[in-house]
Structure 1
Amino acid sequence: MANRSNRPSALNAPSAAAPSPEVDISGTGASSKVTARLPSGESVEVLLYGATVISWKSDGGKVENLWVSDAAKLDGTKAVRGGIPVVFPVFGPPPKDHATSALPQHGFARTSRWEFLGKSSSEDALDASSVKLDFGLYSSNLSDEAKKAWPYDFGLVYSVTLSKEGLQTVVNVRNEGTKVFEFQLLLHTYLRVKDISKTTVTGLAGVPYVDKVLDATTHTQSSPTLSITGEVDRVYASIPQDTTTVLEDGKPRFDVVRDNVDDTVVWNPWKEKAAALSDFEPKDGFQQLLCVEVGSVQGWQKLEAGDGFEGGQLIKSLL
């Protein structure tokens, strides 16, 4: 080939010295976890048991954004109390006379071991500002007990993307069999806050909700701001706007942006419920947490054979 003095340089050619995200796998068995860290210091940790995000640090790695109980089981013996557990295919206690009725509360995804499918970085090789981790759970990997309780062929791919902007978590559900199935999906996010008494939520005004503290009665959020003054367990349905904002002392702390899901659960156990939970420590930890959980839990998503569904969230730390 002839040499050309004006040959164009390669596009997006990575520099040998350019830093890139680091991804490590540590631990064994159910305690295995995947850790990703950006050159700027932000990090995320995902336990393979339940594909549960157990840490997300922003602001150069200085600020932990998720609450995890000091007594949380991280050895695969119980669903993790805290972080971001994945709820599928049923939210809460399963209803009677439904295909999920033989399953435990919140289904099996949060108590199954997932596969780490690999990582991918930003499309631009010079941009090391994000990294995506993919995890998979398939019907063939379920326990015999779970297969018997919910005998459908499915595939789940859970993508956790860490960036300087925030943390994105998206679930892709695929019907790999010949039978139609219904499911619910929820990302049970435990956000860490400084003081629940000074924490409020906006973005839910005018939205109907089911209040589980008040015997599952239906109400409408009349105030533009939700304050937490006691136990709260509300399912807000069909929210018109995509973003719910958590404020501390009146200043925005988190934006929780829903992606192709319509519902949001707001939960805090308060003193009495926290005291009754064996894996909840410290017992006054309810003062430093607020669950804002996006999902599709009012009614059911139906998947025909070969069809798929994808939904999730982007959480932005606003410090």
Structure 2
Amino acid sequence: MVDRANRPSALNAPSAAAPGAQVDITGSGASSKVIATLPSGESVEVLLFGATVISWKSGGGENLWLSEKAALDGSKAVRGGVPVVFPVFGPPPKEGHATSKLPQHGFARTSRWEFLGKSTSEDALDTSSVKLDFGLSSSSLSEDARSQWPLDFGLIYSVTLSKDSLQTVINVRNEGETSFEFQFLLHTYLRIKDITKVEITGLLGVDYIDKVLNATTHKQSEPSIKISGEVDRVYGPIPQDTTTVVEDGKPRFDVVRDNLQDTTIWNPWTEKAKAMGDFAPDSGFKEMVCVEVGAVNGWQKLDKGEVFEGGQTMKSLL
């Protein structure tokens, strides 16, 4: 269990002064999820397996893409939504690093997290947001994950739902005697209507590693990124905080980084979509784009007792 000062309250009845957010836990075992709904109708669903956000609705519509074949029973990482990548991004270093024995993208997205409770504004009349906290620590890992990364840590993952935005923030604490290095990324799948009408702005002049072109380094020379084939790029460091997804000439999402300098842009396109057994429908790549904020260029180091915090605020601009 993760210990936390000012731990949020457990589920309780909303204040009589005003209707508050409704928070429920549904399902059992690996399929358990937390659902929060604001009085104004916005909602978020978080699967305890991986603390994966699998739905974020606002303005009557869904903002996240989730594969029709996504495993929601704890059998594998979820394809879609917002998986949490920690403590390594992509395939780990082959040898000589603490993460070398871990699977791709680490263990956070395939571990069961603890729901620590909800918190709301101290103002009883303010019903415009609700924060859900989730915890994962070294003592709650599976035996396999613990043997692969035998370091003492605590994670707090906070998901805050507001009327027009969703904030997701990670707090990483070194709770052991030994320093450790890690990477972190939020693998966000944004739902769009037509990938051919999408542009991504806010990355002009930024260097990126193009994994489609043998991990070579390039500089973003155009003011926007247009996607007409497979894209897998890691941008960073990014000086400005906001990346915007524009669809059909109109801003659709702002993705605002907080203490994170990197962003991955990903779309599998036709062949890779067909090759992934849990990606459905095959044409689903036309309705999604991944804008993934993180700290993945190099490593973040934490000494004993040190804390790292970073995350994002996604704004729906409809």
SS of match in other structure, 1:286 = helix
> What is the TM-score normalised by the length of structure 2?
0.95
Partners of 1:15 and 1:57 in 2: CA distance: 24
Q: Does the residue aligned with 2:213 lie in a helix, a strand or coil?
A: coil
Deviations 1:70-126 (A, max 9, x none): 000000000000000000000000012211000000000000000000001122110
1: CA distance between counterparts of 2:164 and 2:124?
Answer: 18
Query: Could you tell me which amino acid in structure 1 is paired with residue 305 of structure 2?
Result: G
| Residue type at the aligned position of 1:318 | L
Structure 1 residues 236-292: Cα deviation after superposition (integer angstroms, max 9, x where no partner): 011000000000011100000000000000000000000000000000000000000
Q: Match for residue 109 of structure 1?
A: 108
Say whether residues 1:44 and 2:39 are aligned partners.
no
Where does structure 1 lack aligned partners over 5 or more consecutive residues?
Answer: 1-13
Report the equivalent of 2:229.
230
Residue-pair matches, total: 304
Match of 1:72 in 2: 70
| Residue in structure 1 matched with residue 207 of structure 2 by the alignment | 208
RMSD: 0.9
The AA in structure 2 aligned to 1:229 is: S
Matched, 1:269 2:268: yes
Partner of 2:252: 253
Partner of 1:92: 90
Deviation at 1:15? Answer: 7.1
Counterpart of 1:219 in 2: which secondary structure? Answer: strand
Query: Using the alignment, how far apart are the partners of 2:300 and 2:227 within structure 1?
Result: 30
1:20 — aligned with what? 20
CA contact (8 A) 2:17 2:125 kept: no
Equivalent position of 2:8 in the other structure: none
User: Which amino acid in 2 is paired with 1:46?
Assistant: V
Shift of residue 135, structure 1, vs aligned partner: 0.1
Matched residue, 1:81: 79
Matches within 5 A, 1:120-269: 120-269=119-268
Alpha-carbon offset, residue 23 of structure 1: 0.1
Residues 130, 161 of structure 2: 8 Å contact kept: yes
| Over 2 Å off, 4+ runs | 14-17
| Aligned match of 2:7 | none
Q: For 2:220 and 2:139, how far apart are their aligned partners in 1?
A: 43
| SS of residue paired to 1:275 | helix
Which AA in structure 2 matches 1:57? K
Name the TM-score, length of structure 1 as normaliser. 0.94
- Of 81-90 and 115-124, more deviation after overlay is shown by 115-124
- 1:17: Cα distance to partner? 5.3
Amino acid at match of 1:74: L
The answer for unaligned runs of 5 or more in structure 2 is 1-13
SS of alignment partner, residue 151 of structure 1: coil
Secondary structure, counterpart of 1:53 in structure 2: strand
Amino acid across the alignment from 1:29:
G
Deviations along 1:167-190, one digit per CA (max 9) or x if unpaired, are 000000000000000000000000
What is the CA–CA distance in structure 2 between the aligned matches of 1:17 and 1:122, rounded to whole Å? 13
Residue 10 of structure 2 is matched in structure 1 by: none
Once the two structures are superposed, what CA deviation does each residue of 1:59-80 show, in whole Å capped at 9, x if it has no partner? 1xx1100000000000000000
Using the TM superposition, give the Cα deviation of residue 165 of structure 1 relative to its aligned residue in structure 2, in angstroms.
2.6
Corresponding residue number in structure 1 for 2:278: 279
Query: Does structure 1 retain, via aligned residues, the 8 Å contact 2:17–2:124?
Result: no
- 2-structure distance, mates of 1:98, 1:236: 23
CA distance in 1, matches of 2:62, 2:195: 16
| Paired position in structure 1 for 2:31 | 31
Task: Please name the residue that 1:57 is paired with.
Answer: 57
